[in-house]
Chain A
Amino acid sequence: MSAFNAIGEEREIDREEFTPGIEPQPTWCPGCGDFGVLKSLKQALPEVGRTPEETLLVTGIGCSGKLNSYLDAYGFHTIHGRSLPVARAAKLANPGLEVIAAGGDGDGYGIGGNHFMHTARENHDMTYIVFNNEIFGLTKGQTSPTSPKGHKSKTQPSGSAKDPIRPLSLSLTSGASYIARTAAVNPNQAKEILKEAMEHDGFAHVDFLTQCPTWNKDAKQYVPYVDVQESDDYDFDINDRGEAQDMMYEAENVLKDGTVLTGRFYVDEDRPSYQEEKQSLGEMPEEPLAERYFDDDYEWERSYDLLDRHK
Chain B
Amino acid sequence: MADNELIWRIAGGSGDGIDSTSQNFAKALMRSGLNVFTHRHYPSRIRGGHTYVEIRASDEVVDSRGDGYNFLLALGDSFARNPKENAYYGNEEVKPLSENLDDLREGGIIIYDSGLLDASEIPDFEERAEENDWHIFDLDLRSMAREHGREVMRNTAGVGATAALLEMDLDEIENLMENAMPEKILEPNLTILHEAYDMMVEDYEFEHDLRIPTGEHDEEQVLISGSNGVAYGALDEGCRFIAGYPMTPWTDVFTIMSQHLPKFGGISEQVEDEIAAAALALGASHAGVKAMSGSSGGGFALMSEPLGLAEMSETPIVLVEAMRAGPSTGLPTKPEQGDLEHILYTSQGDSCRVVFAPGTPQEAYEQTRTAFEMAYDYQIPAIVVIDQKLSGENQNVPESAFDRDPNPSLGPTLTEEQLEDAPHDPSGIFQRFSHDDPEDDGVRPRSLPGQKGGRFLVTGNEHNESGHIEEDPDNRITQMDLRMKKLESIREDLDSDPETSSQTYFGPDEADYGIVTWGSSQGAVREAVERLNDDGQSVKAIGVSDLMPFAEKEVTEFLESVDEALVVEMNATAQFRGLTQRELGQFGEKLTSLLKYDGNPFEPAEVVEGFEIQIAGNEEAPTANTRLEPAVSD
**A contact residues vs B (CB 8 Å cutoff):** 3-7, 20-24, 52-54, 56, 58, 66, 68-69, 72-79, 82, 84-94, 96-97, 114-115, 117-118, 278, 281-285, 289-290, 292-293, 298, 300-304, 306-307, 310-311
Contacts and interface: CB of A to CB of B under 8 A. Distances in A.
Contact of A78 (B268, B288, B309, B425): B309
Interface in B302-324: 305-306, 308-309, 313
Interface string B278-293: 0111111011111100
Contacts of A73: 455
B529 interface: no
A181 B565 CA distance: 67
Interface in B256-286: 260, 262-269, 271-273, 275-277, 279-284, 286
Contact of A311 (B222, B281, B459): B222
B468 interface: yes
Interface string B459-470: 111000001110
Contacts of A290: 287-289, 448, 450
B416 interface: yes
A275 B415 CA distance: 27
A282 B308 CA distance: 33
Given A4-B451, A74-B455, A94-B288, 9 more contacts: A3-B288, A53-B449, A72-B429, A74-B457, A79-B308, A93-B287, A289-B284, A290-B289, A292-B408
Nearest to A80: B305
A300 B406 contact: yes
Contacts of A93: 241, 267, 283-284, 287-289, 291
Contacts of A117: 272
Q: Which 7 A-B pairs have the closest CB atoms?
A: A21-B427, A89-B283, A303-B232, A4-B450, A290-B288, A77-B459, A85-B279
Given A96-B450, A118-B272, A303 B402 contact: yes
A88 B283 CA distance: 7
A72 B222 CA distance: 53
A87 B283 CA distance: 6
Given A6-B450, A292-B408, A310-B223, A85 B280 contact: yes
Contact of B262 (A20, A23, A66, A282): A282
Given A77-B461, A82-B306, A293-B289, A306 B456 contact: no
B458 A77 contact: yes
B275 A311 contact: no
A53 B221 contact: no
B279 A86 contact: yes
B452 A5 contact: yes
A6 B452 contact: yes
A75 B368 CA distance: 30
B294 to A, nearest CB: 15
14 contacts: A3-B451, A23-B427, A72-B428, A74-B454, A82-B276, A82-B306, A85-B275, A87-B283, A89-B241, A97-B449, A290-B288, A293-B238, A293-B408, A303-B233
Nearest to B224: A310
For the residues of A in contact with B, the DSSP-based class is mixed
Contacts of B455: 52-53, 72-74
Given A5-B451, A5-B452, A289 B265 contact: yes
Interface in B382-408: 399, 402-403, 406, 408
B290 to A, nearest CB: 8
Q: For the side of the interface on B, what is the size category?
A: 35 or more
A115 B221 contact: no
A4 B453 CA distance: 10
B416 A3 contact: yes
B228 interface: yes
Contacts of B308: 79
B449 to A, nearest CB: 4
B154 interface: no
Contacts, number: 226
B428 A5 contact: no
A292 B240 CA distance: 10
A115 B280 CA distance: 11
A114 B456 CA distance: 29
A118 B271 contact: yes
Interface in B403-453: 403, 406, 408-410, 415-416, 425-429, 448-453
Given A21-B427, A52-B455, A93-B241, A76 B286 contact: yes
A82 B406 contact: no
A82 B461 contact: no
Given A3-B451, A4-B448, A89-B283, A307 B289 contact: no
A92 B228 CA distance: 26
A304 B228 CA distance: 12
A91 B262 CA distance: 17
Nearest to B273: A114
Given A77-B460, A85-B271, A285 B265 contact: yes
B238 A300 contact: yes
A305 B271 CA distance: 28
Most buried by B among A96, A115, A298: A115
Contact of B449 (A21, A22, A90, A115): A90
Contacts of A74: 449-450, 454-457
A93 B239 CA distance: 12
B542 interface: no
A198 B429 CA distance: 24
A292 B457 contact: no
A5 B272 contact: no
Nearest to A69: B468
Contact of A306 (B220, B260, B275, B427): B260
B276 A85 contact: yes
Nearest to B463: A77
A292 B425 CA distance: 30
B56 interface: no
A89 B450 contact: no
A86 B426 contact: no
A278 B416 CA distance: 30
A88 B280 contact: yes
Interface string B165-192: 0000000000000000000000000000
B267 A76 contact: no
B267 A283 contact: yes
A94 B232 contact: no
Contact of A302 (B235, B243, B272): B235
A283 to B, nearest CB: 5
Contacts of A85: 243, 271, 275-277, 279-280, 283
A311 B279 contact: no
A306 B233 CA distance: 12
Given A115-B276, A301-B264, A303-B235, A69 B287 contact: no
A28 to B, nearest CB: 13
Contacts of A289: 240-241, 265-267, 284, 289
Nearest to A55: B449
Nearest to A295: B408
Contacts of B260: 303, 306
A50 to B, nearest CB: 11
A41 B263 CA distance: 39
Most buried by A among B220, B264, B415: B264
A79 B451 contact: no
B369 to A, nearest CB: 10
Contacts of A278: 267
A21 B74 CA distance: 77
Contact of B31 (A7, A302, A311): A311
Contacts of A118: 271-272, 276
B429 to A, nearest CB: 7
